[in-house]
Chains A and B, each alone.
Chain A
Amino acid sequence: MEPNPADAAVLLPPRTRLIHIGPPKTGTTSVQGAFHARRDELRAQGVHYAGAARHSASAVRAVTGRPSAYDEDVPPPRRRWNALVRDIRGAGDRRVVLSSELLADATPDAIRAITRALGPAPVHVVATLRPLAALMPSQWQQYVQAGLTASFDAWLTAMLDRDDGVPTPSFWVRHRHDRLVERWAAAVGSANVTVIARAEPDPELVLRSLERLTGLGAGTLVATPDFANRSLTLPEAEAVRAFNAEYRSQRLGRPLLNRVMHFGACQYLKRIEPDPAWPRIEMPQWALDRVAPISREIVTGIAGSGVRVIGDLEALAEVEPSRLAGDRQPPVDVPPRIAARMAMGVLVASGLVRERSQPDAGAAELQLERGPTPVLQEPYDLYRVPTYVLAGTIVHRLRADAVRRLRTLVTRPRGRPGA
């Protein structure tokens, strides 16, 4: 029988604070969703999942000094991080899991601050890694969702031919995985770092390994379906990118872009199953040729670092030939449905829709796409919505409702002038 690669995961000592540092685009959302959905089970088995939300993003942004997604240039207040540290200390002798892909962006100083804050309990770092050749398309479309205007080809050239950090300085910080592992190993010791490496996303391997590391019964963690976390297809990404360019030319600032596009239209686009005919984002051969030696360096670096490896480290250096005919992405036209969904997503994100909506049979499609909602548990969709936004929404709706009722009471129906 083939040995289960997760068997390499060895139970960590009690009290261990396990920090899952991502990096981004390696299935972190699914890990976080699995832990968050099973908080009660975890407690019964002596494990605490840090924080109150699926992902304690603002706490990590506060300690790593990275601006919040909703504000320009300002990291969230430090007390967010302090509260998370208190929550982790409160777990006492239980093992604690903290998962955030934003930790992959942490500087050595921030890493020291984080590991010191979590001690003197033992700290163990887990990095989930995938091949660079697979991550690059995924990471590019993620940057596009966040406002990037460079085409995939131009971005690849910038990342692989120039090394000046423009236009996405975070890319190599996160994805020179050998250096990422080295930075954290320098703070906690290489014996306290585990790498989970695999060619495919393979959430089962990751979840089974994390269960073994933390002493959870096999099967405690279940991958949660997350419709809103798929990658955009090429025509979707190109439509969003064209929007970003148009938006930039109007100089309206990032908070609105984040609302209407990143957290608005992109979320709306992604909750609908893409047509299989829409082309995916493919690495061109020239880029794969550049990526191959870098991936080899990454594998060699990690192999020599003395960290623990689960899965198949060699898989990170495998580069399959490109599926593209030429050296560039084919010119892309946008199917009307994508254009329509993007515009509709913007409209939904503007907040004008809710009060006016009376969905007919056609809207049932949207309901089906969301998947079943578990009983007595949050719908998966809401994991990413902070509580204050939920509360704000309730207040907003009740107020709008009250205003509507008052209006119908005080106004008589009458012909009203048009525009």
Chain B
Amino acid sequence: MPSTPDTDPLLLPEGTRLLHIGPHKTGTTAVQAALWSARASLLEQGVRHAGRSRNPSNAVRAVTEQSSPYAEGTPPSMRHWRDLVREIRGAREPRLVVSSEFFAWASPDVIRRIVDELDPDRVRIAVTVRPLARIIPSHWQQNIQAGTVVGLDAWIESLFREPPGRPNPRFWWLQRHDELIARWADVVGPDRVTAVVVDDRAHDVVLRAFERLLGLREGTLAGVRDLANRSLTLPEAEAVRAFNVRFKAEGLPKALHARVMRFGAAQEMKQREPAANEPRVELPAQALDRVAAAARGIVAGIEASGVHVIGDPSILTEVPAPRPDAVPAGPVAIPADVAAAMAMGIVSATGAARDASTRAPLQFAEPVELVRVPTYQVIGVVGLRAQAAVLRGLRRIGRFVRRG
């Protein structure tokens, strides 16, 4: 029998400030979109969704010292974080929720700082946890959108490299969910942490869990259809990866990549409806055992931690059955429309399309032939041509004089 919100054992006490800390690739965008679009209804039910956007990423990046994708090595200004803290402290609603996967980056020191600033008595933590076998392909294609050039197989190799000298610490910092949970539980106490198991076959389960934690009527949070949040298919990811290789060879800066690819062409590519038979990014068969073993370790750690768990943690160890028709190794063929969508996305991202659709004259741009020609050589060529033109003129005058 479904319990009413008031008697629900999951319901967090009044005064709670619930931090949903992700991590990445666990369906955070879906949770954030659902909270954001139900903001008014949340307020009516006494819950504030804090932040000026669905994911206050600048504020959380600032406090966790994660650089913005547009500015290498520079986290956003701490002003964003102070604004968010002020909003949270000023809230009068019985409960408050803030969701950002960038919380997951926090070191123990930063966790202590965050919790202290938001009042240790009132902070509760929600962590969404998803099967590692789903996280890995999803995380890889996200890295590709962000500009990396490593193929899926090699990347997975790097995750499990032995001895664990440098086995991709950034990935495991976020995705060893047991260790992530332990870092936060050490500061707030395990009974103030709730792990929500994400089941890809039943997306609503996560939204129902947040409703119960916050005391919302069932159905307040609804799935928002968002094409832009789908993963890239394998050919799409491979096209972007090849672009990244080229981009790197051209020595172009990361901020430009963020503009034209990550937040440009990659977004446009996701508006495309992939064919049903287009291969998805999937774990290679040879990785399944190692992934399952790591996932078992994660589940054991979560179960031993003493945190609340919503959902069935046993699904976290699931790996797909090896498929006989798996995509063979080797270069992936790209459907022509994927290539077209990527190039068209670049056109849009550069702003050229905006100029063209307003029929304004195109802004000056160097022709492709000139991009690698140094300025002194261009000046030299203009000089040569001017010299030729002068000689032509002199000859014409000479002929005129001789005739006259």
Mark A residues whose CB is within 8 Å of B.
39, 52, 87, 90, 92, 228, 235, 238-239, 241-243, 245-247, 250-253, 255-256, 259-261, 263-265, 267-268, 332-354, 356-360, 362-363, 365-367, 370, 376-379, 381-382, 384-385, 387, 389-394, 396-398, 415-419
A183 to B371 CA separation, bound complex (whole angstroms)? 42
Report the minimum CB–CB distance from A412 to chain B (whole Å): 14
In the bound complex, how far is the Cα of B345 from the Cα of A335, in angstroms?
A: 19
Would you give the shortest CB distance from A372 to chain B, in whole angstroms?
14
Q: Pick the contact of B370: A239, A252, A344, A385 (CB < 8 A).
A: A385
B389 within 8 A of A: yes
Beta-carbon contacts of B346-369 to A below 8 Å, as 1s and 0s?
110011110111010011111111
In the complex, which residues of chain A have a beta carbon less than 8 angstroms from the beta carbon of B334?
333-336, 338-339
For A415, the chain B residues whose CB sits under 8 A away are: 74-78
Contact with A along B247-266 (1 / 0, CB 8 A): 11111110010001001010
Number of contact residues on B: which range applies? 35 or more
Contact between A359 and B251 (Cβ–Cβ < 8 Å)? yes
In the complex, 17 of the A-B residue pairs with CB atoms within 8 angstroms, ordered by the A residue number, are A90-B399, A252-B347, A252-B353, A256-B356, A334-B335, A334-B336, A338-B339, A339-B243, A343-B265, A346-B350, A349-B365, A352-B260, A363-B249, A382-B369, A384-B369, A387-B385, A415-B76
Shortest Cβ distance from A38 into chain B, in angstroms?
13
Could you tell me the distance in whole angstroms from the C-beta of B117 to the nearest C-beta in chain A? 19
Give 4 nearest A-B pairs by CB, closest first. Answer: A418-B68, A351-B365, A333-B333, A362-B249
CB distance from A357 to the nearest CB of B (A): 6
Report yes or no: B331 in contact with A336, Cβ–Cβ below 8 A: yes
Q: In the docked arrangement, what's the CA distance between A375 and B346, Å? A: 37
Report A66 CB to chain B, min CB distance, Å. Answer: 21
Q: Which of A87, A228, A345, A363 has the most CB atoms of chain B within a 10 A radius of its CB?
A: A363
A residues near B74, Cβ cutoff 8 Å: 415-416
CA distance A231 to B368 in the complex (A): 17
**What does DSSP make chain A's interface, helix, strand, loop or mixed?**
helix
Q: Tell yes or no: B58 within 8 A of A by CB.
A: yes
CB distance from B368 to the nearest CB of A (A): 4
A200 to chain B, nearest CB (A): 28
Inter-chain contact total with CB atoms closer than 8 Å = 261
Chain B residues at the A interface, C-beta cutoff of 8 Å: 57-58, 61, 68-71, 74-78, 80, 238-239, 241-253, 256, 260, 263, 265, 331-347, 350-353, 355-357, 359, 362-373, 375, 377-379, 381-382, 384-385, 388-389, 392, 395-396, 399
Nearest chain A CB to B344 CB, angstrom units: 5
A224–B372 Cα distance when bound, in Å, is: 20
Cα–Cα distance between A242 and B368 once the two chains are bound (Å): 21
Contact B260 A347 (CB under 8 A): yes
Which residues of chain B are near A267, meaning CB under 8 Å? Answer: 367-369
- In whole angstroms, what is the CA distance A104 to B366 when docked? 30
Closest B residue to A266 using CB positions: B368
Q: Are A379 and B382 in contact (CB under 8 A)?
A: no
List chain B residues, Cβ under 8 A from A398: 375
Complex Cα distance, B347 from A261, in Å, reads 10
Say how far A106's CB is from chain B's closest CB, in angstroms: 26
Q: Contacts A356-B256, A359-B251: A340 and B340 contacting too (C-beta < 8 A)?
A: no
Q: Is B371 touching A357 in the complex (CB atoms < 8 A)?
A: yes
Contact A334 B338 (CB under 8 A): yes
Min CB distance, A418 to chain B, in Å? Answer: 3
Bound-state CA distance A135–B116 (Å) is 76
Contacts of B339 in A (CB 8 A): 239, 242-243, 334, 338-339, 342-343
Chain B residue at minimum C-beta to C-beta distance from A338: B339
B336 touches A332 (CB 8 A): yes
The answer to whether B71 touches A263 (Cβ under 8 A) is no
What 8 new A-B contacts, CB under 8 Å, besides A256-B347, A376-B384, A379-B373? Answer: A256-B362, A339-B243, A349-B365, A350-B347, A356-B253, A390-B382, A398-B375, A416-B71
Inter-subunit contact A347/B61 (CB<8 Å): no
Contact between A359 and B250, CB atoms less than 8 A apart: yes
Query: How far, in Å, is B366 (CB) from chain A's closest CB?
Result: 5
What CA separation (Å) do A256 and B343 show in the bound complex? 13
Given A263-B367, A415-B76, A415-B77, A52 contacting B392 (CB threshold 8 A): yes
Instruction: Decide: A351 near B243, CB < 8 A? Known: A260-B347, A356-B253, A360-B249.
Output: no
When chains A and B are docked, how far (Å) is the Cα of A333 from the Cα of B345?
20
Q: Is there an interface contact between B359 and A340, defined as CB atoms closer than 8 Å? A: no
Contact between chains at A340 and B246 (CB < 8 Å): yes
| A residues near B363, Cβ cutoff 8 Å | 351
